[in-house]
């Protein structure tokens, strides 16, 4: 009799434990479902906001072009007026300021559209050494105007990678412009912009943009990658975020090594290019 009671009690306790476990599992599943639903709704909302923002930017860009064109025509008309020269110069300065602000807003919108737009990569086999040489040739005049010398430090041998060369060039140009802006106000006559290609033991390749400028304060070294954060009055704050986005779209990263007073080293680190797929071996007949 006692054995039967113990067996019955064990069954009852087991059933209670099973019910409790089941309720906990159901509760956890319900929580996960609610969290997943909220995430999906948030992602959808962000996608809608992104689409609306991009459309709004396009809508603003078109009338800005019209304003800029009319400001240019107005400036030309003022030059032809037979009025007091002092008054003519005053009117020209005002129209010039209008054109300058219009161009600045257009630049901000173009940077935003580039940053927020869909990135489609057209990967082709590209020699990284040749790529930095092309960039140095293209950027030579702008660097020279700002008192900066460009120096190339290519890899010892050809480095071929499957990349979207145009996007990588854009990312590097953003880094080069930032580097020159960091150095141009310096009194140091030995300012250098160094473009370097190197590799590590894992097969990763890196393209470095190194400057001899003032460096970046430790507290700003992560913030500079946030959209619209800038330390320059004329900057849009999207050059570095765009460069990072391009690097990450290639499966790589944008890394920074900087020390105040000793310059900065921004590097686009790219993962190894996988070898081409080998055709299956044909079986001997």
Reported pTM: 0.63
pLDDT digits (tens, 9 = 90+) for 41-88: 655 555 555 555 666 666 777 777 788 888 888 888 888 888 888 888
Highest mean pLDDT: which range of 3-17, 50-64, 202-216, 230-244: 202-216
d(CA 98, CA 76) in angstroms, rounded, equals 14
DSSP assignment letter at 218: G
pLDDT digits (tens, 9 = 90+) for 182-212: 887 665 667 899 999 998 888 889 999 999 9
Q: What pLDDT sits at residue 254?
A: 93
Residue 178 · residue 130 · CB < 8 Å: no
CATH 3.30.565.10, the chain: domain bounds = 124-270
**Radius of gyration for the chain, computed over Cα atoms and rounded to the nearest angstrom:** 30
Q: What pLDDT sits at residue 284?
A: 46
Q: Which fold has domain 124-270?
A: Heat Shock Protein 90 (3.30.565)
Highest mean pLDDT: which range of 72-76, 143-147, 216-220: 143-147
DSSP assignment letter at 191: -
Phi then psi for 273, rounded to 5 degrees?
Answer: -75, 125
């Amino acid at each position: 009799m006692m054995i039967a009671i113990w067996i019955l009690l064990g069954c009852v306790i087991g059933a209670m434990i099973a019910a409790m476990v089941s309720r906990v599992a159901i509760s956890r599943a319900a929580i996960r479902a609610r969290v997943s639903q909220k995430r999906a709704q948030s992602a959808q909302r962000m996608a809608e906001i992104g689409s609306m923002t991009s459309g709004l930017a396009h809508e603003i860009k078109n009338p800005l072009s019209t304003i800029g064109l009319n400001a240019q025509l107005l400036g030309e008309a003022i030059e032809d007026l037979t009025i007091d020269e002092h008054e003519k110069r005053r009117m020209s300065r005002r129209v010039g300021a209008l054109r300058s602000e219009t161009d600045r807003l257009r630049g901000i919108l173009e940077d935003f559209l580039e940053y927020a737009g869909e990135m489609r990569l057209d990967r082709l086999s590209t020699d990284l050494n040749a790529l930095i040489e092309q960039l140095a040739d293209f950027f030579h005049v702008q660097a020279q105007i700002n008192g900066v010398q460009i120096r190339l430090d290519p890899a010892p041998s050809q480095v071929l990678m499957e990349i979207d060369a145009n996007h990588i060039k854009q990312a590097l140009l953003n880094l080069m412009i930032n580097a020159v802006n960091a150095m141009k106000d310096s009194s140091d006559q030995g300012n250098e912009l160094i473009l370097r290609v190197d590799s590590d033991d894992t097969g990763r390749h890196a393209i470095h943009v190194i400057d001899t400028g003032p460096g970046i304060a430790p507290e700003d070294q992560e913030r500079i990658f946030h959209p619209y954060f800038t330390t320059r009055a004329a900057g849009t704050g999207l050059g570095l975020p765009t460069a990072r986005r391009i690097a990450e779209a290639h499966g790589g990263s944008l890394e920074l090594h900087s020390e105040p007073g000793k310059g900065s080293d921004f590097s686009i680190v790219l993962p190894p290019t996988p070898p081409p797929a080998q055709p299956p071996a044909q079986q001997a007949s």
